[in-house]
Every structure is written in C-alpha cells, then in structure tokens.
C-alpha cells in the first residue's frame, strides 16, 4: 500500500507543477479532478497502512486502489500528451495588458456569474422536467466560474484585500450545500475546483505545498464530525422540513462538539472506510469478475451514456438507463438500502467494461479531454473571449465528477453547454469582444 501511495503522491506533485513557468498556462482542472477522485479513494486506502488485521476488506481496498493509481498515471500521461502537442503548435505569447476598465468589467461579470449560481438554489426546487433540470443544474457551476474569475481579477489588479476576502468566503460553499440539502460533497468539489484554479494562477506555490497537510487534517476532521450527525440533520431537513435558521443551528452543533481526526480511533476509521473508500467497490467488482460471477459489460454502460444524451422530450419512450446503484450492485454483489444513491465512479465504470486496460484507456482519454479543455479555458480568458471561457469552464466542471456515472457526467456536460451558450448569447449584448489579428490584443469592452 505504501508503494501505491508513493506513486499517487508523485502523480499529485506532477499535476501541481503543470503550467508553472511554461508558455501554456493552466486553469487547474486536471488537478481539481485528481483531488476530487483522491477524496473518495485515498483516505480509505491510507487507513490500511498500519492495519493490524489484513482481512478481506483490506485486500479488496488494495486491489481497488491499485486500479485507481493505474488510472491516475494514465490520466497524467493523457494531460501531458495534450500539453506537449499544444506546446509544439503554439507560438510564444506576449502577455495581454488589461486596463483597469476591462478588469472592472470582468469583476462585474464575475459577480453576475455568482448571482446566477445563487439563483440555482431557488430554481432547482421548482423544475421537474429532467431535460430542463439538467440545464438548470448547470447554473450551480456559475458559482465556481464567478469565484475563479474574481480571484483571477484580484491577482491581475494586485488587490490583496479582494483576493483574501474572496478566499475567506470559499468555505461557505460546502456550508451552503449542507444547509440546503444535507450534502457536503457538492460544495467540497466546487471548493476544490476554485482552489485548484487559484493555485494554477499563483506564482508562489510553495505555500500551498506547506499548508496542504494541515488542510487535509482539518478536512478529515470536519468530515468525521459531519458524518456523526448527518443522518439526524437529513431527517430534520428532508422530512421535518425545519427552517433554514434551525438547520444552521444544527450545523453549529457539529462544531460545538467538534472532535479532531484521530487515526487510532476505530469509529473514525470505520466512517472513512465506509464513505471515502471507493476502492472497496472496485476491489469487489474485480474479485467477482475474475471468479466469473459476472461478465464484463464490454461497453454496455457507454451505450447507455449515448442513449442518455437524447432528451426525453424528443424520445418520450426512452428506456430508463440511469441508476448507478444498479450498476454497482450488479458488479460488486453489494446490496444497498432502497432509495440509496450510489455513484459508480470512473474507476469502477472503466474497469467493469474492459478490465485494467479499460482503466488505462479510459483515463488516458479522460485526461486528454480535461487537459485540452484546461488549455481552452485559459486561452479564451487570456484572449478576452468571455463566451468561450464560460463555455469551456462549465463543460469541464461537469466532467469533474469522479464519483458519478458516465451517463450523469455527459448529461451534465450537455446541460452545461446549453446553459453557457444561452447565457453567452445574452452577455454579448453587454460584453463585446473585439478580436484583432493578434489574439493577444483582443479587447473586452462594456457597451
């Protein structure tokens, strides 16, 4: 397990160095995906480093984590291939000069995105049409786009007050998702995406390396305390329909009885092993496939992904192809309570289709795709193309769902594209992008 964790750490460092000192900048999206996937795989593997009893769960965890690390190495290679090709094709760019008026316009645009993201929390509860719901759900990603753009503007302006004020508000994202629906995961993934974007723009990266262990420790502490009261909180929020004020008070109760993470605590170990150990599912599926208890899907879930792209409004009789819990139950043999939502995750889904080669090939393509979009995001931002920046950022964010099914991922990506293109059309009335033959001199003006 130590060897696998060492390889994982090497991949992490490599992704953290992307875009540092080179011609091609990074929006931090490959790092954001890696951190999100690590969140549901690495803590569960780490608890078995000094595990006193190497039982069946430990064996499955190691087998699953081995596939995860293999996939992340392939993911890194995919990202580097795309960046290598782009480096040879691109010419050296002259850094664009951003006048204060343009930066002020971008700052207002960032605030507009944040407002659109807040609107999601009000509109999401009233939309029952699945096809429309996917587009409305994409509004949530505007919180990430708006926060990232505002941090970028603050760096360009060298406005440390705005920068640190924006950073200090980021922990509110997981707090909001907990209070609204009892889920901490969505807000955490948004937080990781924004921090990764901000990190990629920073020239002082050593501080991030030094503070990372502290943030991991604090994050695990918050998680185990959240899990201790999650069931009671969701009972109050979902069934008792308590007010926002009472939900906030219940969240504060978590911190009143706060316990720091203790690796020697059996209770905390079980919590992490049960919720942050997707390796168990991969290991269980690998075991059943090798024993012949089930057959490989051979691309069946990819077919479902293609069917899922067709709106039900155009195909009313479209077969039901969703259900990550069904996929997980069929291949792992693990049964979950009725109504429990279980995401297969990319590692498991690639593996059940074509085994280890499916993991390698799948993550090689996934890394190439995210790496390519990562380049497009910064290219559009640096050229002043805010419509393109919004499009590629929101679509890429939809791909950053390491615990989701590919079907859910592509539907989210399609919804994000529709939403961003629609918003871009209306934003053009206010934000006019005038491109000159030299893209580095593109101008963003406010009409």
Q: What is the DSSP code (8-state) at residue 28?
A: S
Percent of the chain with pLDDT strictly greater than 70: 83
Partnered with residue 432 across adjacent β-strands are: 445
Residue pair 359/74 in contact (Cβ under 8 Å)? The answer is yes
Residues 198 and 14: their CA atoms lie apart, in Å, by 17
Give the position of tokens 């596939």.
67
Give the pTM.
0.87
Average pLDDT, the chain: 81
Instruction: Indicate whether 128 pLDDT > 50.
Output: no
SS3 content of the chain, % helix, strand, coil (to 5): 70, 0, 25
Q: How far apart are CA 300 and CA 82, in angstroms?
A: 28
pLDDT > 90: percent of the chain: 21
Which residue, 140, 123, 121, is CA-closest to 179? 121
The 10s digit of each residue's pLDDT in 61-79 is: 888 999 999 999 999 999 9
Q: What is the mean pLDDT of residues 426-438?
A: 53
- Helices 406-427 and 100-123: angle between axes, nearest 10 degrees: 130
103: tokens are: 């930066």
CB neighbour burial string for 195-220, b if at least 16 within 10 angstroms, e if fewer: bbbbbbbeeeeeeeeeeeeeebeebb
Average pLDDT of the segment spanning 90-99 = 62
Instruction: List b or e across 347-364, with b for residues whose CB sees 16 or more CB atoms inside 10 angstroms.
Output: bbbbbbbbeeebbbbbbb
């Amino acid at each position: 397990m130590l060897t696998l964790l060492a390889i994982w750490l090497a991949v992490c460092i490599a992704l953290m160095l992307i875009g540092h000192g080179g011609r091609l900048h990074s929006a931090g999206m490959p790092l954001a995906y890696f951190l999100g996937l690590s969140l549901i795989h690495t803590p569960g593997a780490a608890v078995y480093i000094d595990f006193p009893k190497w039982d069946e769960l430990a064996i499955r965890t190691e087998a699953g984590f081995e596939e995860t690390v293999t996939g992340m190495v392939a993911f890194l290679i995919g990202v580097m291939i795309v960046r290598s090709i782009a480096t040879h094709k691109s010419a050296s760019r002259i850094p664009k000069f951003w006048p204060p008026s343009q930066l002020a316009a971008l700052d207002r645009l960032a605030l507009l995105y944040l407002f659109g993201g807040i609107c999601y929390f009000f509109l999401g509860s009233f939309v029952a049409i699945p096809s429309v719901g996917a587009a409305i759900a994409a509004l949530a990603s505007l919180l990430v786009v708006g926060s990232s753009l505002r941090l970028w503007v603050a760096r360009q302006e060298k406005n440390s007050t705005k920068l640190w004020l924006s950073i200090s508000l980021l922990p509110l994202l997981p707090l909001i998702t907990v209070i609204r629906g009892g889920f901490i995961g969505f807000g955490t993934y948004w937080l990781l995406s924004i921090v990764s974007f901000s990190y990629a723009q920073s020239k002082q990266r050593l501080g991030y390396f030094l503070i990372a262990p502290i943030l991991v420790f604090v994050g695990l502490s918050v998680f185990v305390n959240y899990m201790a009261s999650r069931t009671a909180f969701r009972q109050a929020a979902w069934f008792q329909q308590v007010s926002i004020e009472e939900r906030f008070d219940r969240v504060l109760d978590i911190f009143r009885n706060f316990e720091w993470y203790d690796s020697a605590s059996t209770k905390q170990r079980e919590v992490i092993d049960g919720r942050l150990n997707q390796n168990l599912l991969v290991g269980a599926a690998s075991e059943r496939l090798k024993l012949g208890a089930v057959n490989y899907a051979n691309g069946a879930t990819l077919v479902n992904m293609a069917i899922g792209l067709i709106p039900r409004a155009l195909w009313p009789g479209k077969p039901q192809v969703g259900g990550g819990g069904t996929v997980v139950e069929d291949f792992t043999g693990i049964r979950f309570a009725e109504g429990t939502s279980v995401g297969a995750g990319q590692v498991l889904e690639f593996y059940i289709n074509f085994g280890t080669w499916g993991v390698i090939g799948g993550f090689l393509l996934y890394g190439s795709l995210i790496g390519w979009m990562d380049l497009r995001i910064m290219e559009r931002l640096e050229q002043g193309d805010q419509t393109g920046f919004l499009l590629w950022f929101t679509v890429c964010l939809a791909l950053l769902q390491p615990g989701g099914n590919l079907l859910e991922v592509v539907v989210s990506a399609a919804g994000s594209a529709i939403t961003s293109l629609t918003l871009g059309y209306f934003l053009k009335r206010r934000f006019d992008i005038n491109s000159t033959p030299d893209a580095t001199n593109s101008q963003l003006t406010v009409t």
